[in-house]
Structure 1
Amino acid sequence: MPDLNFMEDYGGALFTGGGLHERLAQEGKSELVLTITAIRPETFPDTKYPEWILSFGQNEDELRLKKQAGRLLYAALGDKSSGWIGRQIALSVEWKEWEARDGKPMAGFAIKVRAIPNGVVAVTEQTRQDGRRYDDLDAKIPF
């Protein structure tokens, strides 16, 4: 029987908004760029249907992909999971306030997801502000 490594197969915990916020603050980043290494469906007690879990390799938390974020990645990466493997995504957080199903006010950090297009050389504050992509290897990158 092969020697299996639990962390390689299952990763760490799932990303949470608060946990990701703390990590970004500790690392001095506005977003975390990760490469998708595996995808599996999983059903949770609070869901009727399976949701995708994105893995990012050894010793990295996994992402429970909610439907809204999944739609954004689907538009950028396609509908087949095999086309997502090896692609990069960026995770960030946003403070949200909402009303729970029972009417109670809730607040917390929500995880935001965006796909990184193939070939992007650099994403800087300038590229975020002006919305331009610098995906040509010969493009001038504003630093």
Structure 2
Amino acid sequence: MKARSSSGGAPEFAKTWSALQEQIFLKPIRNDEDYRKMVALADELADHLEGEEGPLADLFGVVTDLIEVWESHHPDLPKAEPKDVLRYLLDAHELKQKDLADIASPTVISDILAGRRAISKSVAKALAERFGTDVSAFM
């Protein structure tokens, strides 16, 4: 890559980036709406890929990488009771109740899954951190 002098490089990059963003949605995914736009862009790019290489293939790679990062940190959770969301996440991550011992005792986890106990705010927060989800999934 050719080195640029410090005089004027950043403003020129900003103009170029702004012009690109007027044509396509390309930015970090920060919410579900951004995610949907990025998936739409990936679909559109996939329709126009003619081979394994080239600028569109490179752009497609960047877009799909952004999507994969978002999906890995924001699993698509079922609309269900908090105990069922927890059960789903345990299954999806191939974890046992004892694997959550750093969050709550196996007895507490068992009681939550059996519906004998509600998830406390502190446990909900710890579960959200552990699974990279919103705390509301457990409330």
TM band (smaller chain)? under 0.3
Normalised to the residue count of structure 2, the TM-score between the two structures is 0.24
Larger Rg: 2
Normalised to the residue count of structure 1, the TM-score between the two structures is 0.24
RCO higher in 1 or 2 (8 Å CA, sep ≥ 6)?
1
* Higher-helix-fraction structure: 2
* Higher-strand-fraction structure: 1
